[in-house]
Amino acid sequence: MSASPRLRRFFSLWLRRPGVREGVDLEIEHHLRERVDELIAGGMTPGEAHSEARRQFGDIEGVRDTCQRIDRSRMRRDRGEEIMSSIMQDIRYALRSLAKAPAFTAVVVLTLAVGIGANVAMFSVTDAAMLQALPFPEPERLVLGRATFNSFPNPMASGPDYYDYRDQSGSFETLSAILGFTMDVTLTGGDEPERISGTFASVDLFPALGVEPPAGRLFSADEAEQGSPPAAIIGSGFWLRRFGGSPDAVGQTITVNAFPVTVVGVLPTDFHFLHEVDLWLPMQDGGSFTGVRRFHNWLMVGRLKDGVTLQQAQSEVDVISRRLAEAYPESNETKGLLLTGLQEALLESYRPSLLMLMGAVVLVLLIACGNVASLLLARASTRRTEVAVRAAMGASASRIARQLFTESMVTALGAGVLGTVLALWFQGMILSFVDIGELGITEIGMSAPMLAFALALSLVTALVFGGMPALSGTRVDLVDDLKGAGKMSAGRGGTRMRSTLVIAQVALSIVLLIGSGLLIRSFARLRGVDPGFRTENLLTAEIGLAGAQYAEAEARIQFFDGIVEEIHAIPGVLGVGAITHLPIRDPGNNVRSWDPDNPPPNPNDIRYAFLRPVFPGYFDAMGIPLLAGRDLEDTDTPESPLVVAINESMAEYLFPGESPLGRRVAVDHGGEEPTLYEVVGVVGDVRMSSLAQDPRYATYFSYRQRPAGTMQIAIRTQGDPFSLAAPLRAAVWDRDRDIPVERLATMEEVVSRSISGRRVIMVTLTLFSSVALFLAAIGLYGVLAYYVSRRVREIGIRVALGASSSSVVHLVLRRGLTLVAIGIVLGVGGAFAATRLTQQLLYGVEATDPLTFITVSVFFAGVALVASLLPAWRAMRVDPMEALQAE
């Protein structure tokens, strides 16, 4: 009597399936009805049956809830499995699809991988430099203190000022000092004398930075006093080199500049702070560099007390600065101390370059995405048939879009993986010119944030380049597309999108090209700067005297006298010069100098001049013109009157309109009274600190009157400068085996090295913009080729109706150049907007330099013309007969 299962199922097809809640209710209701029927059949009244049925069932609500819960969880799980399986299906399909066109896929993946890789590398460097904290405990409490003069950071402060700030301020847990530069000292006692680097730091610096020495100890408080046994802490590199990393190094005595010091501790391998040196010596009150309030050699590093803000500390420090200005008007009147967060301060110098490069790589990636999107759009039109078939078989538009998008995702993720591998390689490149070694970062490698960024970037990239084709791909016109007529009469959407893409690519490329154009001009300007001397065929070397035998000035004079004479005798030597600091490479060591007969009313207005003892013949050897008077000579001895030669700018400043010869210059050597010198010569200006810095004031002293222990030798050679290296070494060692000849380099190398940072940035940006240009040109070509291929019929008709081939070419070129023109205008606008950022990196060139803008635009237009030629030529070759017959 019950309907057969088959029949039941047949009926069930017609029933709407209830949802979870409704279904459970129905099921229970049905059960109760059956039960009621049974009970009525057994003799109960309907009313009794109803309540009895309910009673017998038990907890209806509970059962209902339980069954609903179970059903809901089942549906969730089933849906999840369904989604997973359709995603897996999409992925499999995507992989098959990509494999069917290996060349295309390879090009796309490579293009994206380079773009993503460059971005991931830049991100990891920026992350390490800017976002990661310094590797010290509680780095946010560390501040850098820089002395300011009339609010301009010097940045170095003087020893006595430092002691006063330290003793008078209450904002700091510790206020330490570190020498603002490093020195080269000679280490003797081994097989060969070795030049090592060293610097001073106050004894509380390392504890403030939380340094834990792997051997020995840090400086003790009494090592800050003069007279305590000389102690030194050595760097880990030096420890490994000299002592093989053995703990026996602690307690050993080494001889530095003929002075014995005991090694008391070693710094850990991963410790990097401001200077990479072999030797750290404790700052001692009354010791080196600490005596004179007017001599500024120290940077301050402070750790703020808990709860004290930078602003509070700054206010307190300002009060102290005012106090010092009142107490010591001659030296402190315009001085202040600027406190900056340590990390921020260290970033200041390379933030502009980092930001610029970040911007550049993002642009390159966008352009690459544009190209990939364009390629995909082109390919989408050839896949119309395939998509139409799928649509006819029941795939919804969203399913198709999802599948196309999965292809983009798989491609992007593949590119992301490859790009991350490439990024490791790019990192090295970036680190080579953005020197963030100061922050303790020498290499970066893989990191979790970097991987997360790579993943996110790949996904975004997929969205950017995949979104458009996926959208346009779903606009299927079934009938047309199945017939294959899509190629001929495809909708205008594809072309418009691609045209917009090309315009965007052109604009971005223009921005990059202008940027690199400006950098190129700037670098050329810098390279072309006249340093004030002749740089060719000049060998330079450093000779540092050490040893008790050179303690007397006479001994030093004798040594260098002899050496210079010997070098002169070497064949191939045209001239020999000796100076304490090599121009371009060795800035610093400037002291207050003024006209004692006409001193500025306010001592704080006294300017600083470079203090440079030289040997006679220096100017001649270097090719520095002697403008008036004479060179310093052998007759300028300690017994004869003290003399100087000054540079042109200083003569103009101190003695405007007059001849400085015979006038006097007062130089503050740190004593109570300045020393007076007579001006005997005026020489041409030389760039002392760098090519980019204007020449300032320089005073040249007779070596005999100020004999230093370390001299830079400059040898003008006839032929290859390096051919003189061996004879030079021989000559020096002949006289004294313990004197090393260091820093051998040609002057040209020295100059080149000094601008290498800028060069690398310029080269990198030019590389980026070339890639961008290339990609944009390809994009343009692609769009125009597509344009022509779609208009074959139209062109055929035109030609058949008598259009000349030149008018057909015009048609194509006009389209191409219109796109390019719009792009150029947008790009130029963008470059203008970015002026403020780029100006910081330029030398001698305005960020809005019209010559660059125009040259770049014209150049790009030329490239665009070439890119348009091939499609235009193709258009010209269209055979009207073929075109009209093709369908």
Specify the residue, 53 or 819, whose C-beta has the smaller distance to another protein. Answer: 53
Query: Which one of the spans 16-24, 158-166, 499-507, 853-861 is the region binding another protein (CB under 8 A)?
Result: 16-24
Query: Which one of the spans 32-40, 84-92, 298-306, 850-858 is the region binding another protein (CB under 8 A)?
Result: 32-40
Specify the residue, 28 or 760, whose C-beta has the smaller distance to another protein. Answer: 28
Residue 74 Cβ, how far from another protein at the closest point, in Å? 4
Instruction: Measure the CA–CA gap between 566 and 604, rounded to whole angstroms.
Output: 45
Is residue 71 near another protein by the rule CB under 8 A? yes
Query: Which one of the spans 18-26, 371-379, 619-627, 670-678 is the region binding another protein (CB under 8 A)?
Result: 18-26
Q: Quick one: which of 51, 66, 309, 637 contacts another protein (CB under 8 A)?
A: 66
Is residue 79 near another protein by the rule CB under 8 A? no
437 DSSP assignment: G
Residue 65: which H helix or E strand, with range?
helix 60-100
Size of the site for another protein (CB under 8 A): 35
Q: Which amino acid is at 130?
A: M
Is residue 12 near another protein by the rule CB under 8 A? yes
Residue 47 Cβ, how far from another protein at the closest point, in Å? 20
Q: Phi and psi of 662, rounded to 5°? A: 90, -15
Is residue 1 near another protein by the rule CB under 8 A? yes
Specify the residue, 24 or 714, whose C-beta has the smaller distance to another protein. Answer: 24
Is residue 826 near another protein by the rule CB under 8 A? no
Q: Quick one: which of 35, 305, 351, 630 contacts another protein (CB under 8 A)?
A: 35
Q: Quick one: which of 19, 21, 34, 637 contacts another protein (CB under 8 A)?
A: 34
Q: Phi and psi of 129, rounded to 5°? A: -80, -45
Q: Which residues within the stretch 38-57 sit at the binding site for another protein (CB under 8 A)?
A: 56-57
Residue 36 Cβ, how far from another protein at the closest point, in Å? 11
Residue 378 Cβ, how far from another protein at the closest point, in Å? 47
Q: Quick one: which of 19, 21, 33, 483 contacts another protein (CB under 8 A)?
A: 33
Q: Quick one: which of 18, 493, 638, 670 contacts another protein (CB under 8 A)?
A: 18
Specify the residue, 57 or 259, whose C-beta has the smaller distance to another protein. Answer: 57
Q: Which amino acid is at 67?
A: C
Residue 29 Cβ, how far from another protein at the closest point, in Å? 9
Residue 58 Cβ, how far from another protein at the closest point, in Å? 3
Hey, what long-range contacts does 730-737 have (CB within 8 A, 24 or more apart)? 731/563, 731/566, 731/567, 731/570, 732/543, 732/563, 734/566, 735/559, 735/562, 735/563, 735/566, 736/547, 736/559, 737/193
Strands 231-234 and 279-282: antiparallel
Instruction: Measure the CA–CA gap between 367 and 511, rounded to whole angstroms.
Output: 12
Is residue 2 near another protein by the rule CB under 8 A? yes
Specify the residue, 74 or 669, whose C-beta has the smaller distance to another protein. Answer: 74
Q: Locate 805 and state its tokens.
A: 């081939």
Specify the residue, 56 or 489, whose C-beta has the smaller distance to another protein. Answer: 56
Answer whether 557's CB lies under 8 Å from 615's CB. Answer: no
Q: Quick one: which of 45, 48, 51, 74 contacts another protein (CB under 8 A)?
A: 74
Residue 302: CB atoms within 10 A of its CB come to: 27
Specify the residue, 73 or 885, whose C-beta has the smaller distance to another protein. Answer: 73
Query: Which one of the spans 66-74, 87-95, 184-192, 218-226 is the region binding another protein (CB under 8 A)?
Result: 66-74
Residue 26 Cβ, how far from another protein at the closest point, in Å? 6
Is residue 8 near another protein by the rule CB under 8 A? yes
Write the burial class of residue 16 (CB in 10 Å: 0-12 exposed, 13-18 middle, 19+ buried). exposed
Instruction: Measure the CA–CA gap between 145 and 317, rounded to whole angstroms.
Output: 10
Write the burial class of residue 282 (CB in 10 Å: 0-12 exposed, 13-18 middle, 19+ buried). buried
Residue 72 Cβ, how far from another protein at the closest point, in Å? 10
Residue 790 Cβ, how far from another protein at the closest point, in Å? 53
User: In the chain, how many H helices and how many E strands?
Assistant: 29, 24
Instruction: Measure the CA–CA gap between 470 and 474, rounded to whole angstroms.
Output: 7
Specify the residue, 9 or 322, whose C-beta has the smaller distance to another protein. Answer: 9
Query: Which one of the spans 67-75, 506-514, 747-755, 854-862 is the region binding another protein (CB under 8 A)?
Result: 67-75
Q: Quick one: which of 21, 51, 70, 806 contacts another protein (CB under 8 A)?
A: 70
Q: Quick one: which of 19, 21, 26, 640 contacts another protein (CB under 8 A)?
A: 26
Residue 105: CB atoms within 10 A of its CB come to: 18
- CA dihedral sign of residues 51, 57, 62, 67: negative
Query: Which one of the spans 25-33, 288-296, 468-476, 728-736 is the region binding another protein (CB under 8 A)?
Result: 25-33
Q: Quick one: which of 11, 152, 425, 722 contacts another protein (CB under 8 A)?
A: 11
Specify the residue, 16 or 492, whose C-beta has the smaller distance to another protein. Answer: 16
Instruction: Measure the CA–CA gap between 111 and 114, rounded to whole angstroms.
Output: 5
Q: Quick one: which of 43, 46, 50, 73 contacts another protein (CB under 8 A)?
A: 73
Q: Quick one: which of 44, 67, 628, 725 contacts another protein (CB under 8 A)?
A: 67
Torsion of CA 873, 877, 883, 886, to 10 degrees: -80
Residue 122 Cβ, how far from another protein at the closest point, in Å? 51
Specify the residue, 37 or 605, whose C-beta has the smaller distance to another protein. Answer: 37
Query: Which one of the spans 29-37, 260-268, 438-446, 855-863 is the region binding another protein (CB under 8 A)?
Result: 29-37
Q: Locate 551 and state its tokens.
A: 């303690």
Instruction: Measure the CA–CA gap between 396 and 2, rounded to whole angstroms.
Output: 41
| Binding characters for another protein, 651-690, by CB under 8 A (x = yes) | ----------------------------------------
Peptide bond preceding 46 in cis form (omega within 30 of 0): no
Q: Quick one: which of 44, 50, 52, 63 contacts another protein (CB under 8 A)?
A: 63
Q: Quick one: which of 42, 43, 46, 62 contacts another protein (CB under 8 A)?
A: 62
Instruction: Classify 629 as helix, strand or coil.
Output: strand
Q: Could you tell me the CA-to-CA distances from 718 to 278, 401, 528, 582, 591 in Å, in that order?
A: 37, 74, 23, 21, 36
Largest interatomic CA distance in the chain: 144
Instruction: Measure the CA–CA gap between 265 and 216, rounded to whole angstroms.
Output: 4
Q: Quick one: which of 59, 191, 673, 887 contacts another protein (CB under 8 A)?
A: 59
Residues near 768 by beta carbon (within 8 Å), at least 6 away in sequence = 118, 360, 361, 363, 364, 512, 516
Residue 826 Cβ, how far from another protein at the closest point, in Å? 59
Across 823-847, b (16+ Cβ under 10 Å) vs e yields bbebbbebbeebeeebeebbbebeb
Instruction: Measure the CA–CA gap between 634 and 615, rounded to whole angstroms.
Output: 8
Across 649-660, b (16+ Cβ under 10 Å) vs e yields bbbebbbeeeeb
Is residue 84 near another protein by the rule CB under 8 A? no
Residues near 54 by beta carbon (within 8 Å), at least 6 away in sequence = 32, 60
Q: Quick one: which of 43, 46, 47, 58 contacts another protein (CB under 8 A)?
A: 58
Positions touching another protein (CB under 8 A) are 1-3, 5, 8-9, 11-12, 15, 17-18, 23-24, 26-28, 30-31, 33-35, 37, 56-59, 62-63, 66-67, 70-71, 73-74, 77
